[in-house]
Structure 1
Amino acid sequence: MEKYNTLLYYCYSTIADAEQFAADHLNFCKSLGLTGRIIVAEEGLNGTVSGTAEACRQYMDTVHADPRFAGIDFKVDEVDTPSFVKMHVRYKSEIVHSGLRNPEIIDPKSKTGKHLNPKEFMEMKDRDDVVVLDVRSNYEHNLGKFKNAITLDIENFRDFPAMINELAQYKDKKILTYCTGGIKCEKASALLLHEGFPEVYQLHGGIIKYGKEAGGKDFEGKCYVFDGRLSVDVNSVNPVVISKCLNCGTITDKMINCANPECNEHFTQCDACGEAMEGCCSDACKTHPRKRVYDGTGYYVKVPQPVNTDKKGLKLQY
């Protein structure tokens, strides 16, 4: 059976004509037979792609050959099947949406927290003068997080700046930030430094790299990932499950998206409730007319809206 790879990566590096780059990069990825999701902005790249081991090797070699992206740290997972169905490369204003686009406040290319490799992070995280800070969204840290980490009540990373005042009580501590692959920490640590936190660090390569190089020690639960797998194992040293079924409270680490596309809530649900609720988070979603067919996975391919149409499918006039 042919093996596949899934690559997770990001890079803050100036791309002069980012919109054209996105179009050209999509064609390049398709030429290799890759599937995945890449965001391109003037500030850099943020991507997860999946394909054969050879196609992924060609992709990494080509990207690394570009001086702008020579320093990319690809996180490579072996998978049985590709982690996506289609290939998307989209141009956006930021590669991770923070709402803070003033380079005088946040510029990950010039000033961020000190990067810690997984071993350094593991050695520091339990010290009395340290606070470990999860900068991910609720549904991510509900599924898994570092033991004793501080978590924030945020739905999206763009909510992070508004939480700075709640973190002021930790200004006398060393702040160790972490996220899935490291990209959110670049902006989170930069903002913390701007707001006067004197010692800020970040886990280089994020949870994924920590699992590969440090065995995932003391990471409790699973790590949410933004592809068809939905979650991956991290801890091979002292694993535990911390998440519960939204509907019945049973311990489970199965992450799904609500079958109602207008809800699309990310949540954990046991198999029994998945069957009973047809992959929905509530009775209201279960009876929604647009409810998708639940196949037991809880992962749904996004159906793009037709160009130049409104939500009712009517052609827009210009």
Structure 2
Amino acid sequence: MYQVLLYYCYSPIADPDAFRDEHHRLCLALDLRGRIIVAAEGLNGTVSGTRESCAAYMAAVKADPRFAALEFKVDEVEGHTFQKLHVRVKPEIVHSSLRHMRPHEKTGQHLSPAEFRALKDHDDVVVVDVRSDYEYNLGRFKNAVTLDIENFRDFPDRVERLKEFKDKKILTYCTGGVKCEKASAFLLEQGFENVYQLHGGIIKYGIEAGGEDFDGQCYVFDNRVAVDVNRVNPTVISHCHHCQEPSARLINCANPHCNAHLPLCEACGETLQGACSQTCAVNPDKRVYDGTGSYPKLSNHYNPAQGLASYGSAKD
């Protein structure tokens, strides 16, 4: 049996390049695969591996005093959810336009899944989804405010829409919590006084609170594409992009020049051969549709050691 680990930690790293190489070697030794971002502000990743490898990885990461408080979200899977390992140095651990934020110094108040569930329906509370549109269109909390953003870097431009709720408690949430750290910090900077965030995000809420009142599915950034989190009162809120029938089946458009993330039912998937429209269906570069609507990068000639300094390059 395998596991997939989702995690992040805002904690300063003095030499991200050196840390990156060391961390890459750790992952190689454990045969982990996935995407890990290293930045001066911290660490963010999703990796998959055997239970034994994941246990060893979690112990090694938490043994570093900088990441002692890091919490892993752990899900059981049948095999690797990634085909390759990428450990990269970037300016931020989540791409935003909020590089001046220091979540390890000041951010919104963390709420456990149980605390979030108990508070979210109060009259003086507004629940805010800080994710992108293709994510919340697939699944979101009941009555959540969405901000019509294509990318998290658009978040600061949408905060004006929340000004009418300044006298209420703002409860932010995202997939695993990493975006909320900066989003809630920015709201505090903008004068919002009662700002909270769902600690561990939707994934931890599903594990610890049964996902109650989360409608639809949760988009995830691995080969699974989307996962069920609600075991209490599940429902489907998304509709097939083509026929508009209810469908929680998320695909990538088979036209690589489009590659849109959207729901497409099985019948329309077959009719359009994985494309989101007739135009994309006849594109000469359209990928072969195998019924899944997922097109992970092939692992042909994959060298997991590629990118290590000793192999001639400090970055993949």
Asked if these proteins are the same fold (TM beyond 0.5), I'd say: yes
Alpha-carbon offset, residue 16 of structure 1 = 1.2
Match in the other structure for 2:259: 264
| Counterparts of residues 212-291 of structure 1 (less than 5 Å) | 212-291=207-286
Distance in 2 separating the partners of 1:39 and 1:288: 34
Contact 2:139–2:238, Cα closer than 8 Å, also in 1: yes
Match in the other structure for 2:75: 77
Identity %: 64
Partner of residue 208 from structure 1, selected from 203, 207, 212: 203
Unaligned runs of 5+ in 1: 305-318
Alpha-carbon offset, residue 165 of structure 1 = 0.9
Match in the other structure for 1:6: 4
**Number of equivalences:** 299
Alpha-carbon offset, residue 294 of structure 1 = 1.5
Distance in 1 separating the partners of 2:285 and 2:8: 35
Distance in 2 separating the partners of 1:22 and 1:226: 21
Structure 1 residue 16 corresponds to structure 2 residue 14: yes
Match in the other structure for 1:308: none
Code of the residue aligned with 2:33 in structure 1: it is T
Distance in 2 separating the partners of 1:153 and 1:264: 19
Distance in 1 separating the partners of 2:156 and 2:290: 38
Alpha-carbon offset, residue 303 of structure 1 = 6.7
Distance in 2 separating the partners of 1:81 and 1:177: 32
Q: Please state whether the residue corresponding to 2:146 is helix, strand or coil.
A: coil
Q: Please state whether the residue corresponding to 2:215 is helix, strand or coil.
A: strand
Distance in 2 separating the partners of 1:76 and 1:122: 21
Structure 1 residue 97 corresponds to structure 2 residue 92: no
Alpha-carbon offset, residue 283 of structure 1 = 2.0
Partner of residue 87 from structure 1, selected from 85, 88, 91: 85
Distance in 2 separating the partners of 1:298 and 1:35: 21
Q: Please state whether the residue corresponding to 2:286 is helix, strand or coil.
A: coil
Distance in 2 separating the partners of 1:228 and 1:272: 22
Contact 2:250–2:263, Cα closer than 8 Å, also in 1: yes
Structure 1 residue 41 corresponds to structure 2 residue 22: no
Q: Please state whether the residue corresponding to 1:235 is helix, strand or coil.
A: coil
Code of the residue aligned with 1:4 in structure 2: it is Y
Quick check: 274-283 or 149-158, which moved more? 274-283
Structure 1 residue 298 corresponds to structure 2 residue 296: no
Q: Please state whether the residue corresponding to 1:9 is helix, strand or coil.
A: strand
Partner of residue 53 from structure 2, selected from 52, 55, 73: 55
Higher-RCO chain (CA-CA 8 Å, sequence separation at least 6): 2
Code of the residue aligned with 1:12 in structure 2: it is Y
Contact 2:44–2:93, Cα closer than 8 Å, also in 1: yes
Are the structure 2 counterparts of residues 19 and 291 from structure 1 closer, same or farther at C-alpha, using a change threshold of 3 Å? farther
Q: Show CA shifts across 1:33-62 (max 9, x none).
A: 111111111111110000100010011011
Match in the other structure for 1:31: 29
Q: Please state whether the residue corresponding to 2:31 is helix, strand or coil.
A: coil
Match in the other structure for 1:316: none
Q: Please state whether the residue corresponding to 1:5 is helix, strand or coil.
A: strand
Distance in 2 separating the partners of 1:125 and 1:4: 34
Q: Please state whether the residue corresponding to 1:85 is helix, strand or coil.
A: coil
Q: Given the two structures, how large is their TM-score scaled by the length of structure 2?
A: 0.92
Match in the other structure for 1:310: none
Partner of residue 134 from structure 2, selected from 121, 124, 139: 139
Q: Please state whether the residue corresponding to 2:137 is helix, strand or coil.
A: helix
Code of the residue aligned with 1:293 in structure 2: it is V
Partner of residue 154 from structure 1, selected from 149, 171, 176: 149
Structure 1 residue 177 corresponds to structure 2 residue 172: yes
Code of the residue aligned with 1:96 in structure 2: it is V
Partner of residue 199 from structure 1, selected from 173, 194, 198: 194
Distance in 2 separating the partners of 1:26 and 1:245: 40
Distance in 2 separating the partners of 1:171 and 1:218: 24
Distance in 1 separating the partners of 2:183 and 2:98: 10
